[in-house]
Chains A and B, each alone.
Chain A
Amino acid sequence: MATTAERPAAALEQASTAARRRRRRRAARHRQLVALAFMSPWIIGFCAFYVYPMISSLYFSFTKYDILSQPKWVGLANYRFMFTSDPLFWVAIRNTLWIIAIMVPLQVLFGIVTATVLTRIKRGLPFYRTVFFLPTMVPLVAAALGFIYILNPAGPVNRVLGVLHLPEPLWFVDPRWTKPGLTLIGLWGIGQVMIIFLASLLDVPRQLYEAAELEGARPWQQFRYVTLPMISPVIFFSVLIGMIQGFQYFTQAFVVSKAGDRTNEVGYPQDSLLFYTSRLYQQGFEGFHMGYAAAMSWVMFVVIMACTVVLIRSSRRWVHYQGGFR
């Protein structure tokens, strides 16, 4: 038990501790406010250009909105129409899945193969690296227009195929060949992925290959058991970004469609190039069904989020990080 003399001293100490705490809290609050002040331009921009449009579009997705008149609340009607009545919704989904299932893996594969080949080149590596990277610098529209010319049924590619007595596809006129045609554009513009793979391949420690060689591993086994695990984080990154871009695939298909047909129809020919975002564009900006287009974007957002989560979860099984970091 404290004596009467000790009581005021303890009280004084308590009071000074409380004062110190208050000062610390005030200082912390001040620091927070300063930090917030510095961050405010970004916060304002984020709220104005991300949060507000997102919430607005969520609201619009429950309305009938044609830009010209006030939005009318229709509840879940847009979502119901999407899954049960939109005549081209499932066509667009099918085409989009084609891009994700065929083009994206091919791009990753082509990126790995190109980068692997470049690691073997002894002379002129900067030149080849530049050559393969250059297409990335070409605007998407220009690239698409270039390929429209190259893959014209009477164009240079078909002339070469003709000389070789090979079948001459109608490319962007024949629905069987439109998506393979777009895949060629996708593979041509592989530079960015290739450069990342190249860096990743050059980063694989030499001693791992030496150890594998000592163990008697053949080149394929070295690639399978050393290279692939070591570059798996980059593969994961490429697949993830590729998948997201696949869901949002639009520009090249739009340019190719519009150039192929005088009726200016998105998805030409025969809806073979009607992708999810093309349908969204068609409904939103040609049909002025902005409420429905907003609903479509929210469905896309949710699907992309879900696929991303699934991919990230699955990556625990097949992606290997040096040092075990995730």
Chain B
Amino acid sequence: MRRRLIGLLALALLAAACTAGGGGSDKPAATVDPNANHAPLTLTVWSDFSARELGVVTAGLKMATQKYPWMTIKHVGSKNDQDIQRAVNGGTPPDVAISFTPDNAARYCDTGAWQDLNPYLQSSKVDKAKVWPEGVFSYTSFEGKQCALPMLTDAYGLYYNTDLLKKHGISAPPKTTAELADMAKKLTEYNPDGSIKVAGFMPLVGFYGSTTANTLSHAYGAKWYDENLKPTLTSDPNWTKMFTWQKAMVDAVGYDKLQRFAAKLGGANSEFSAQNGFETGKIAMMMDGEWRNAFIEGDKSKVNYATAPFPVDPDQPGLYGSGQIGGTIGGVPKGVKHPAESWLLLQFMTTDNTYLTTIAHGLKNVPSTFESLKDQQLQNDPRFKPFLDVFANQQSTFKPITPIGQTDTDLMNTFTQKWQAGKVPDLQAGLKQVEDQIAKQLQLG
């Protein structure tokens, strides 16, 4: 009986081992001659676009089928990274995968889940340095593998309410974080009961998705890792500077007051609604991505506003004009049936300037190639241009991507919540703790 049980267990373990984690292959493939005839082929694109945005991208993809008449594209929306990973694991990946989470690119490179595109780029004679600004490689490649390419991007900057600034006698947006703090103080208005009526600036990390420890750290040039992927939260003094500034901003108004104000605006859920604090004129200055322009228009907000790069550390004025960037990435998953054709489509989606500018207009995102950034319609929009410039700035980057994906930012966000609530008595000790936590997660891989 015991032998039988052991035998059964061994069999089951063997079955589990044999069936687990099946996937495709990494067979290299030649590229397709784009000018040659080709048998009709349907390619599937998965992305997390939905509703209006899905329609914009699907319409844009018709340009690919016009260019390559043999190609039929099936664009499937609402597919997040988990769906893509499951499909790759199941051996039925989409021909081209689009992800909104560049943090995962390192994992895709590391595991080979998305193919290294360098051989394809060489075969197709695409000179990366001439096509894309340097910053995009911070979130599309890992350890020499270029397993993703940018398809549009996001850039972060400062939105400011011109009416409110004018009302308080301020004529230009802040260029340093010290100026931002001074202006925020002037612009903050209170109700008779002491609660906030208008916030000059919302320094609470996590209140809206764009104000994160990560985006703020860029203003101080704080580095996450050294070249050996060792966390540098304590060794880089810019983290301490950034957190000290951010806490002073919170304390100037009061954590409790800010939280209640945020709640009255509708909390985190108001970010992508007409109740957004900036759109309703209740927040005078706010860090946000370029897409806010489209939301302000879509929500029919009457706010008079302008945009500028986000202010930077007064001791590092050279950083002004740069910011955090990073957005939609695309790749060819391993195990695709027609890798050369998949590459051709991905190449179109990431390098065809007409396609990129068309969907950039539709989505109000930053197009990602040097050439598409020159688009006159976008360049002539004074509210959009600062974001184009931020993206093109050589110092703009995404945070370094690692095989642990978003875990490092999650740990940092939790620390920041405690920090801004006044629960961290010793900043250095707190940062050391986060550093250790990230290092331990990296051990797990």
**Which residues of A come within 8 Å of B, CB atoms?**
51-52, 55-56, 59-60, 64-71, 81, 85-88, 152-154, 170, 173-175, 259-271, 282, 285-289, 292
Contact = CB atoms under 8 A, between A and B. Distances in A.
B21 A70 contact: yes
A88 B269 CA distance: 27
Contacts, number: 140
Interface string B4-28: 0000010011011101110100000
B367 to A, nearest CB: 25
Given A69-B21, A267-B414, A286-B405, 9 more contacts: A59-B17, A68-B107, A69-B23, A71-B20, A153-B259, A153-B264, A170-B256, A263-B409, A270-B418
Interface stretch (B71-79, B206-214, B317-325, B340-348): B206-214
B16 A56 contact: yes
Interface in B165-223: 205-210, 212
B282 to A, nearest CB: 13
A68 B9 contact: no
Q: Is chain A's binding surface mostly helix, strand, loop or mixed?
A: loop
B250 to A, nearest CB: 14
22 contacts: A52-B15, A60-B16, A60-B20, A64-B445, A66-B111, A67-B86, A68-B23, A71-B20, A87-B437, A87-B441, A153-B260, A154-B260, A173-B262, A259-B268, A263-B206, A263-B409, A265-B414, A269-B421, A286-B406, A288-B405, A289-B445, A292-B444
Contact of A262 (B19, B107, B268): B268
A59 B206 contact: no
A289 B407 CA distance: 11
Interface string B380-421: 000000000000000000000000111101110110011001
A66 B440 contact: no
A67 B263 contact: no
A170 B260 CA distance: 7
A271 B267 CA distance: 18
B88 interface: yes
The 9 closest A-B pairs by CB, nearest first: A87-B437, A262-B209, A153-B263, A56-B16, A68-B113, A68-B111, A55-B12, A154-B264, A85-B440
Contact of B207 (A65, A262, A282): A262
A128 to B, nearest CB: 34
Given A52-B16, A262-B268, A270 B9 contact: no
Interface residues of B, number: 58
Contacts of A71: 17, 20-21
Interface of B: 9, 12-13, 15-17, 19-21, 23, 82, 85-86, 88-89, 107-108, 111-113, 205-210, 212, 256, 259-260, 262-264, 267-269, 271, 404-407, 409-411, 413-414, 417-418, 421, 423, 433, 436-437, 440-441, 443-445
B443 A55 contact: no
A55 B206 contact: no
Report which residue of B107, B268, B418 has the largest number of chain A beta carbons within 10 angstroms of its beta carbon: B268
B406 A65 contact: no
Contacts of A70: 20-21, 23
Nearest to A84: B440
B21 A67 contact: yes
A242 B262 CA distance: 35
B349 to A, nearest CB: 22
Contact of B417 (A66, A68, A268): A268
Nearest to A260: B268
B112 to A, nearest CB: 7
A52 B12 contact: yes
Given A67-B86, A68-B88, A71-B21, A288 B107 contact: yes
Centre residue among B113, B405, B406, B410 by max chain A CB count within 10 A? B410
A271 to B, nearest CB: 5
A268 B436 CA distance: 21
Most A CB atoms within 10 A — which of B15, B209, B441, B443? B441
A66 B19 CA distance: 14
A280 to B, nearest CB: 14
Contacts of A170: 256, 259-260, 263
A265 B13 CA distance: 35
A85 B443 contact: yes
A55 B17 CA distance: 10
A319 B21 CA distance: 48
A265 B413 contact: yes
B89 A68 contact: yes
B20 A56 contact: yes
B405 A65 contact: no
